[in-house]
Structure formats: structure tokens, C-alpha cells
Chain A
Amino acid sequence: MSTVTTPHSGTPIESRKLVEMNWDPITRIVGSLGIFTKIDFENRQVAECHSTSSIFRGYSVFMKGKDPRDAHFITSRICGICGDNHATCAMYAQNMAFGVQPPALGEWITNLGEAAEYMFDHNIFQDNLVGVDFCEQMVKETNPKVLAKAETTLSPHSNLHGFRTIADIMRALNPFTGSFYKEALQMSRMTREMFCLMEGRHVHPSTLYPGGVGTVPTVQLFTDYLVRLMKYVEFMKKVVPLHDDLFDFFYDALPGYEEVGRRRILLGCWGSFNDPAHCDYKYKHMTDWGRKMFVTPGVVVDGELVTTDLVDINLNIRILLGSSYYDDWIDSPTFVKYDPLGNPVDQRHPWNQTTIPRPQKRDFEDKYTWVMSPRWYDKRTGDHLALDTGGGPIARFWATALAGRVDIGYIKATGRSVKIYLPKTTSLPEVEFEWKIPKWSNAIERDRARTYFQAYAAAAALHFVDQALKELHAGRTATWSDFKVPEEAIGCGFHEAVRGVLSHHVVIREGKIANYHPYPPTPWNANPRDSYGTPGPYEDAVQNTPIFEENGPDKFKGIDIMRTVRSFDPCLPCGVHMYLGNGKTLETHHSPMFGAAHSGEEHAG
């Protein structure tokens, strides 16, 4: 069975006058993405969207036959902004395949590095890339009436962040000249220094290995990290209220803005930050140690937490074709018939995928992208769900909040919210932030969650510093455990890349890589219509998005579409292209657009 997401609009597409509007490339993301749309300007709504990625590199092809110990060095290069997430996830898969568990201190150092990555990456993306869509210059060009209102709207939290009006916040976000833009860029450097302390280099780490890390644990290492972390904690105390003010203003200034980028609540989170007290990297214990992660794995469907079990999550991943430039592998060899617990493994599971590229002309009625269509099989209903990650944070919060498992002092999941505690800093007192489950999975809430997750990552890092120092003070300074590469083995790693779910699946035969498939967040989000006709999340979220931009077709910037796409934090060293056509009016269409079969590898982060 397929899953066709319900369109929000009641107007039948047959009677609409549509204008083709395309953006290719979409900038201010990582990678190459094109977005091709048909817009109904009369009803101020997007009627149809295809997302396409224009780069193929072939990791799963060229990794075959290579040494399995090289996997984390190689796969880091998949993504230029969260390569370390790949290296870490590969390391998790290697640890499982090699049967090795790092010393506790090695795990805390990895967690500190990954926490710094979230702090860095969400910060630069939110305030230097996404933020530009909300800056004064952009709002002036797209919604001058909104800017006029912003000039006279006082910021509710100006006492905390220092910007008197909402328009002052917008001015501070102007690229390269705005004060907050510049401060955020500078902060993104400090958090990368924190990252380099733990993992050596940003963005392709030098000190990660299967079995642990090569970082030398010293008092200096953790001190250098902690003093920077506390500066970031202070920064967060201003940033969270600043974004709340900005995002709340959009709901207020543009009634109905909650519909922009809204889609059914279909969220996946594969969990982040292993707890060395529980994680032994054995598949047969994965259900238990997965639930001890400091961000809880989970699948959320229509607001309900369907599972928190990594084994369940793993077994139900399906990679579908339909609109991608690949040949089917259904008749190719099956590498893994049963998982180590005896559960059958599907031929469309990453362990059994064979990537067979077939470059061809782009045809939006047939094959149009290098991205494949990952789906999660919901055994309750038989649906292949087009889960999205919402750019990462919203899915992480939603799963963690509902699961109610994380409780480390600095962070507490309550069952309906997540509380984040930040201690006193040089000029600001302690604060508690609370992320509450929102009413919608939409552009604004994806963006808001990103800001709150920066605070979450900082709070988690405070816990990890405490734990690392305990090890150091007790004299347990080993950071790496030795291992042997087995002749035959399988492994899987689950992690949260900055922008959402990340899995690596490896099969080892004769001591070499026989099969390797990384699935980062962007294939989940940027994928095309699958073999059942279900559109990918970008396509689905853009389709039916109302248009609030004041410009007509001639000067149309597509800002509401851009905010929708960027809310997912696209990262396509596989991309989405949005291409602004010449405003050509199309024939009235009769094709069944919604759920019609159509719209990549290459999955970066």
C-alpha cells in the first residue's frame, strides 16, 4: 500500500490556472537542489512541486572491496557541513561489526564533539542561511506591509536580546552587515573550535576511529571546551527569546502562516549521543541501549509515538525507486536474509541494496533526480510512510518529549515537552527553557525547534563535560579499545545528523566491504515521488503551501516556498533546484497531480 498525503485544498486542480515557477539552484543550503513548481496565483497557492538533485558521486559503488576500517574516513566526505556525523555513524556501524566497545571516556569525547557540531551547524544555518529569508532586505522585497508592521511592533523579549522592535531583529539579520548575522557567524567559529578540540578537524574529523578516539584527554582539553561552551550558553539565553519573538510575529502578522510548509505529522528520529554505561554496540541489545540515548529514537505518526525501538526502526526501512536515475536491484544478491535476532530482512532494506546508476534525461513525468525514496514501513497499516526529519530538531524533540525518558538534570523530557536548564553565566542568571509539542509540523515550528535544540545540545554538553571529568579525575584515561576486523560480519549505526536521521549499513565479506549504504536525512526529505506515487516531503510540504508574498508572478521571489524548503535544512551534496521560469502560463491540467508517480544517491547530510 502507498501513503498519499491529504491535500489541504478543496479546489480541484483541473479548474485551476497554473503558472510554472522554478528555482534552480536553491542557494543558502548545502548541495544542489532544484524546486520546480506550478503555482495557482488566483487562489494564492502552490499546486504542484517536484524536487530534483543534480549530483551523483557513487559512494555505495566505490566503497565495495575497500577496507572496512576506512569507512568512517571515506563517508565523512559525503557531507561538507556534517561530515563528522557520518564519520561517527560509520564508527558506530564499525563498532558493531568489529564487536568493539570504546572506553567510556572515548564515548564522552565523541558526544562532546557531536554536541559542538549541533551547536555550530544549527547556529550557522539558522542565522546565516535561513535567517536571510526573514531579514529586513528580504521582507522589504517580498512583504513590505509586514515590514511596516514589524517597525511598530515591540519585541516582547527586548530586555533579553536587546532589539527594541521586530524590524530591528530583521535588520540585524541582513547578510554580512546585520549585527546578529555577524555575531552568529563569529559564534559559529567558536563552536567549531570546540569541535576541533574533540574531533581534530572540522568538517572531516581526524581523531575518530572504530573503537574510540585518538584525542588525548587532558585537563586542558576539557577546560578549553568548557570555557567556550559557557560563552555559547550565554549566547543561547539571548537567541532563544529572539527567535521566539521573530517567529511568533509571523503568525501574528500573517494570519494563516501556520499553513506554510505544513504537512502531516510524519517524523523520524534515529537517536543521538550513546550512553557508555549502556551501549555495548551489540545488535541483540540495541533495543535497550537505543532507549538510553540522550536523544530518544522514535517514529511519530499523527502525534502518536509509534516506536522507540531501534530494531523496529531498522527492520522497517525501505528504499524505493520510482523517479530516480537507477535500475532496480530486486534481482540482485541478498546480502542479509536475517538480522542477528532472526528477523527477516527485506530486499529493499539498505543491507540488501545494490546501487545501479543509470544516467538519463530529466523527465518530470518519469525519472527526474539522483535521490532515491527512503520510506518507513508501518506494519500496523501496511503504509510506506514518507517520514521527514523536519530538519532534525523538531523530530528529535517530538520523539524525546513523548518518550519521556531523558532525565539528566540539565534536560528533562516530560511526556509532552522537553525542559532545558542553563546555569548562570557571566552576565545572565540561570534559565529554564521549555520546548512544547506544537500544533503543527510546519515551516515556522521546524525553524523554532532548531533554535531550542541549540540550547538542548549545550545543556547535553554540560552533562558530558561532567561525565568526562569524572573519568579523567578517576584516572580512567583510555580513549580507544583494540579490535580485529572479522572475515564476515554485518553492522549498522544509528545517529542524528544535524538535519535529521542518519543510518549506515555495512556488510563485510572476506574482510572487505561487500556492501555499504549510508542513509542521511536529505534523501528522506528531498526524495521524489516513489514507486507508489507518494511525493517526497519537500514536494508534499511545498504543494498546497499558501502564498503570502505580496509580489505577483512578474516579481515573484517564492519566499514562502523558500521558507518551506529551507525549514528542512536541505543538505544535498544532493540538492533541490528551484528554478524561476519566465512566468509561462500553462494549459489547464488534467493530470492527477497529487500522488501521481514521479520526483536521489546521494545523500549528504
Chain B
Amino acid sequence: MTPEPLTTPKAPLGAAANPTRLAVEKLCLSFGGLKAVQDFSLQLPKLCLYGLIGPNGAGKTTVFNLLTGVYQPDNGQMQIDANQLRGLQPHQITAAGIARTFQNIRLFSDLSVLDNVRLAGQLHCKNGLPTTLLRTRRFRAREAAIRERAYELLDIFEMQPLATARAGGLSYGHQRRLEIIRALATDPKVLLLDEPAAGMNPKEKLDLAKSIRAIRDRFGIAILMIDHDMGLVMDICEQITVLDHGVTIAHGPPTHIQNDAKVIAAYLGGGPVA
């Protein structure tokens, strides 16, 4: 799964060369009386690999759902390259450059691997109804381009031999990988990975860690990942945000997070240490 060997473990660019891509300011969301997310703020640079962690029920996936438009925030701002995202529909947000994977795999299981990738890849290359029904030259050229790009992506991740296989019939590891490929096919600027390592063994996690870094550098995108595997997150993320009960309790580089008293309290229980 590693396209090319990578030697840069941390973001290679300085702040000047790596301007903010996604800016999130004080997002809030309540379900009735439950404050699911409170004042969530985050700045993702153009090229980065950030982590979002927290105990179960901390609101991590809810943050993803806010960022991708599944939920509308009660308050706050989200911008990508100075384009306002708040109030947009999920498909518009995807078109604006935020793609995601799902915690519980959500592939189009009766479609082929190729079709899963093509579906995502057609986002920026749409055919209208008249050209589709008449099957014009332009239609054929576009479909060919979508198809070619899908094959390229599958090639990068060594999934090409499986292109005609039914997505639902793939092995678990391949399904996870296909979800990432599919998200990348939308040509994102920001990629949100929701527990990409869930259910993987240590060897697979190691491979995944390598490939996530490789994706960041090869595609030049910002990645924000949720995971419960502290080893993985501490190892590859440059910055980590910790959520507990919807509140951001810590933000900083892994070494800082590991020694943060509030984080330790959130994970291990006990009152907050003063």
C-alpha cells in the first residue's frame, strides 16, 4: 500500500509555506439538552496530519459530521480557503474539498470496486441528462476520463486486479483501503479519516501508518484522523486535539498531549488534576 518510500515523518513545510486551509471557529452543536460539541476550533494547514482523539462518546464523529454537513452547527464558522462551508449541503462540502471515510464501512457493496471509485471521481466531471441519453462524444470522453482516473488511483494502491470485484465481497482490509481510495477520488483538499485502523492487527496498522503519511505527501492534502490506537496516533500525527464530552481539553504535539494532566484524567478517570 506504500506508493513510494517516505522519509519525512513530520510536516516538511514551515508556517509561511503551509498556510491554513481549513479554519474552524467555535463550532457548537446540541441535541436537545445534550451539548454534543462545544466551541470546537481547529486550524488545518495545507499539508498536515492531525489527530482527533477522545474517550468513547466524546463527540469525535459528531465533529466529522459537522465538518461534512451531515449536521448543521448551532453556532460557529467553518471555512476552507476562505470559502464559507456552514449551511452547505454534504455534497456541496465534498465538492468544496472535504472528503471522508466512515467508522463503520459504507461502501456501495453491490457495485464493483471500480464503480465505487468512479462514483466519487465523477464529482468534478459531470454529465447532464441530455448528453447521457444521447451518448455524445463529450459524454464518452468524460466517462473515459473518469474511468482512467479511477484506474490510476486503484493502481497507486495496488487494487487494480480487484477492479471488477464486488466491493461487498472484499476482505476487511481491502474494504478499508477502498474507502480511502474512494474519498481520494473526490479530489479533496482535506481528508477526514474516521478510525481507519479499527479492527486491524499491529502489522496492518504499521502499513496503514506508512500509507497515511504517503497519502498526505503524494496528494499534498491535509488529513485529520480519528483513532483509538494511541500508539498509531502519537506516532504519526503532528498535532493532536483531544475531546471529552464535546469539549476540547487539549491541543498540541504528541509529546505535549502524553503528559497533559486533563487528558490522562479523561482517559483514566479521576478528577481533573489541578
Q: Please indicate whether A and B come from the same complex rather than being unrelated chains.
A: no
